Amino acid sequence: MEVRRFLSRFLPGYRNAARTAGAAAPVCRPPRFRETASGFCGGCTACRDVCPSAIIVRDSGLQGPYLDFSQGRCTLCYLCAGACPKGVLTMPNEGERTLIGRARLIRDRCLVREGCSICIERCPEGALTLIFGRTIRVSKRRCTGCGGCRHACPAKPKAMSIEPLNGRP
């Protein structure tokens, strides 16, 4: 147990790699996706067809749609929810804040030390902050998980990941 604690503190990315080793990678769903209703998704492409960012995709192995941030970011426009004929995607209540996931920086991939700040500039929520020119902090209060930072990140592989909240605030 001590080795695991040591590695998780001093080797960036170890904690996430250990947690997901051997497991299927979690996916981010469109805003207001009802996991409990995913079995009702008939496999139509209505949500995908209306998405202005073209980030909604389908996979035969998954029940319902998911988001591919390599194509762009979610604008939280809810056109997908309005187009869903089965009620798998729903509209938010008045004043409700929708969260898709949360951005997470993978420090050993980040180019901030070389002067990159593209993710900070592209975040529509202002959820990313430069800390001493050495790292980036993600505000849990402001981040919606829209994927803008991940899409804009020039690092290969990407230094930003979006971890789905799976119904957690």
10-residue mean pLDDT profile of the chain (169 residues): values are: 46 43 69 85 91 90 88 94 92 90 95 94 96 92 96 96 73
DSSP class of residue 63? Answer: S
- pLDDT at residue 160, as a whole number: 96
**Coil, helix or strand for 149?**
helix
| pLDDT recorded at residue 2 | 56
Q: What is the pLDDT of residue 169?
A: 42
Are 105 and 158 within 8 A, CB to CB?
Answer: no
The separation between CA 168 and the C-alpha centre of its own chain, rounded to angstroms, equals 13
Nearest to 154 by CA among 102, 107, 106, 111: 111
Q: How far apart are CA 91 and CA 32, in angstroms?
A: 7
Task: Specify the CATH class of 2-164 in words.
Answer: alpha beta
Q: Note whether 73 and 146 are within 8 A (CB).
A: yes
Contact between 125 and 144 (Cβ < 8 Å): yes
Read off the DSSP letter of residue 11: S
The pLDDT value recorded for residue 63 is 83
Please classify residue 98 by burial: count the beta carbons closer than 10 Å to its beta carbon, then call 0-12 exposed, 13-18 middle and 19+ buried.
Answer: middle
| Nearest C-alpha neighbor of 43 from the set 78, 84, 82 | 84
